[in-house]
Amino acid sequence: MTKTIEYPPGPSHTMRPFKLAREFLHDPIKTLQNISHHYGDISYFKLGRQHVYLLNNPDYIEKVLVYDHRNFTKGKRLQLAKALLGEGLVTSEGDIHNRQRRIIQPIFYPKQITIYGRVITDQSARLDQRWKNKDSVDILTEMMHLTLSIICKSVLNYDVESEAEDVGKALSICRNYSKRLQNPLGHVLNKIPILPNVKGSRKATETLDKLVYNLIKERREGLESNVKSYDDLLTRLLQAQDATESGPTVNNTTTSPRGTALSSATRVSDKQVRDEVMTIFIAGHETTANALTWTFYLLSQNPDVEKRLLDELASIIDSNRTPTVDDIPKLKFTEKVLRESMRLYPPVWTIGRSVDKNYTVGKYIVPSGSTIMMSQYVMHRDPRYFDEPDRFDPERWSSEARSSLPRFSYFPFGGGIRACIGESFAWMEGILVIATIARRWKMSLVPGHRVELDPAITLRPKYGMKMNLERRNV
Ligand code: HEM
């Protein structure tokens, strides 16, 4: 006898599937917010043939991401991104993912990345030149350009300034392509190479491939001949590879969370290094650019907060010097500003998982093949955890308040084995960019500019963010 499935409450019980799908495609954030508001910690709905379970309870989310992660995959849709990212950290699953994560994780340890602080402030200070004759700019475009140049310099020691337009264009074609893959028909459309943006994206991938493979070759040669030393992430990736190949040094150089030695089977090929570099490119700049764009927008709308920020910066950093990583522990309010900005506008606004084996959440069994959604945007604005949730209030992040919140009521960087590997990098970058730019430039939203959400892979402002600029006297 087949057992009938007991579904959690949700709109599919009362609403026509077509209407719900239309609402979801039109405004996914509002739809998810409404659903969780109406139906609580766990709700159910159908999108096309997909059975979707929306979790909005920090403990359930923690269980899925941290304790029971083996029961889930990132799903088929993500596999489509492999066309661009190959088998990098974001797209790999299971043992392959664990192995890659073990090799790459140490490269991103907070102590290891502080050397990139200088890259961040140098690139941010260059905006002075770029903006000096401008009255207004689109801050989203500017932040994309900035974070791309930071990631290129940190990962590849590659200066995109001259070629930013080309590399940026190639990356943006690839990004749009990944966005298209989110379309339920994406995988079908992708099989027709004559469609212009499929062709364009292949060409863009080729451009990026050429650049990255050339740099890998160059760096290998440089490392072998010992002529020059490099301190970029590419070198570290290649060294991590070498370390895993050379037996005895393995245990000293790469720390496996389970304490297991990495065998020669963990050797990383050029193709894998390329895939990781491409992954870090894509994962490591758009997210931070969005976080910074929303932060500058929020500051422009909240002069009191902006004033407190400027007071802190003035008290810690003399006007004749640029901020450094050593300032970061003292920039407590700056950190709160960024934290609060990512609460209101989490750059990754939702995380999805595909259920591998039947899974119990609360009193429900979620059948294998279903999708679990956990939305940072929805959770971060839940009034059970955040008073006046729509208000921008960095002061809410006192250490007492932080320690009283459940761990997964705030999770802009995800959690568990698939948590953001670049989290420390992102905090360092975010704080230093805010500290460098806010001190020198006052921004105010161009009157009449529409600010709306565009929840694609990351949460962008739909029409960019047009800001008037005013040079401050520092
Ligand atoms: C504010 C900035 C950032 C945010 C909000 C962010 C957020 C996230 C989130 C939520 C995930 C997990 C997705 C999931 O579980 O499905 C993730 C994964 C990842 N992020 Fe970030 N990220 C940021 C910056 C960065 C930076 C700067 C880098 C690299 C330098 C980076 C590299 C990655 C990689 C490689 C993964 C995949 C990790 C894995 O699956 O093992 N991210 N990020």
Mean per-residue pLDDT, 197-201: 61
CA of 284 to the centre of ligand 1 (A): 7
Mean pLDDT of 149-165: 75
pLDDT of residue 166: 64
Per-residue confidence (pLDDT) for residue 212, from 0 to 100: 84
Q: Report how far ligand 1's centroid is from the alpha carbon of 95 (Å).
A: 19
Q: What mean pLDDT comes out for the span 33-59?
A: 94
pLDDT in tens, 327-349: 999 999 999 999 999 999 999 99
Distance in angstroms (rounded) separating the CA atoms of residues 465 and 365 = 44
Residue 441 scores a pLDDT above 80 = yes
For ligand 1, the distance from its centroid to the CA atom of residue 279, given in whole angstroms, is 10
The answer to whether the CB of 283 is under 6 A from ligand 1 is yes
Pairing, β 371-374 against β 50-55: parallel
- Nearest partner of 113 among 427, 431, 465, 469, judged by Cα: 427
198 vs 185 pLDDT, higher one: 198
Annotate 433-447 with b (16+ C-beta within 10 A) or e (fewer). Answer: bbbbbbbbbbbebee
| Contact present, 270 and 277 (Cβ < 8 Å) | no
Q: Is 281 in the pocket of ligand 1 (CB under 6 A)?
A: no
Lowest mean pLDDT segment, chosen from 25-29, 84-88, 238-242, 312-316:
238-242
Taking the centre of ligand 1 as the mean of its atom positions, its distance from the CA of residue 377, in whole angstroms, is 16
Using the predicted structure, report yes or no on whether residue 26 has a pLDDT greater than 80.
Answer: yes
- Average pLDDT over the chain, rounded to an integer: 85
Strands (E), 232-321: none
Please tell me the residue having the least CA distance from ligand 1 atom 27.
284
Q: What is the pLDDT of residues 353-381, one digit of tens each?
A: 999 999 999 999 999 999 999 999 999 99
Closest ligand 1 atom number to CA of residue 279: 35
CA distances to 80, 181, 184, 372 from 49, in Å: 19, 17, 11, 14
**DSSP class of residue 6?**
-
The percentage of the chain sitting over the pLDDT mark of 70, rounded to a whole number, equals 82
Minimum CA distance residue for ligand 1 atom 17: 420
Task: Kindly state if the Cβ of 58 falls inside 6 Å of ligand 1.
Answer: no
Give the sign of the dihedral formed by CA 366, CA 25, CA 456, CA 163.
positive
C-alpha 321 – ligand 1 centre gap (Å): 31
pLDDT at 54: 97
Structure tokens at 324: 């450094």
26 Cα to the center of ligand 1, angstroms: 26
For β-strands 136-138 and 453-455, DSSP reports them as unpaired
Q: Residue 256 is encoded by which pair of tokens?
A: 């496996």
Q: Which residues pair with 298 in a beta bridge?
A: none
What does the pLDDT average to over 152-165?
71
Could you identify the atom of ligand 1 that is nearest to the CA of residue 411? 10
Residue closest to 9 by CA, chosen among 49, 56, 48, 78? 56
Q: Is 414 in the pocket of ligand 1 (CB under 6 A)?
A: yes
Q: DSSP letter string over 421-452? A: TTHHHHHHHHHHHHHHHHHHEEEEEPTT----
Residue 333 has a pLDDT of 98
Q: Are strands 72-73 and 42-47 parallel, antiparallel or unpaired?
A: unpaired
CB within 8 Å of 399: residues ≥ 6 apart: none
pLDDT of residue 305: 98
Ligand 1: residue of 73, 377, 420, 425 to mutate (most ligand atoms within 8 A of CB) is 420
Evaluate whether 281 touches 171 at the Cβ level (below 8 Å).
yes
The pLDDT, as a whole number, for residue 283 is: 86
* pLDDT confidence band for 398 (50 / 70 / 90): very high
Mean pLDDT score, 420-426: 96
Summarize pLDDT for 210-249 with one digit per residue, the tens: 888 888 888 888 877 876 666 778 888 888 765 555 443 3
**Residue 285 Cα, ligand 1 centroid: separation in angstroms?**
10
* CA 15 / ligand 1 centre spacing (Å): 35
Ligand 1 touching residue 422 (CB < 6 A)? yes
Q: Are 430 and 293 in contact, with CB atoms under 8 Å apart? A: no
420 lines ligand 1 (CB under 6 A): yes
- Dist CA 344 CA 330 (whole Å): 24
CA 134 / ligand 1 centre spacing (Å):
33
Pocket test for ligand 1, best of 99, 287, 431 (most atoms within 8 A of CB): 287
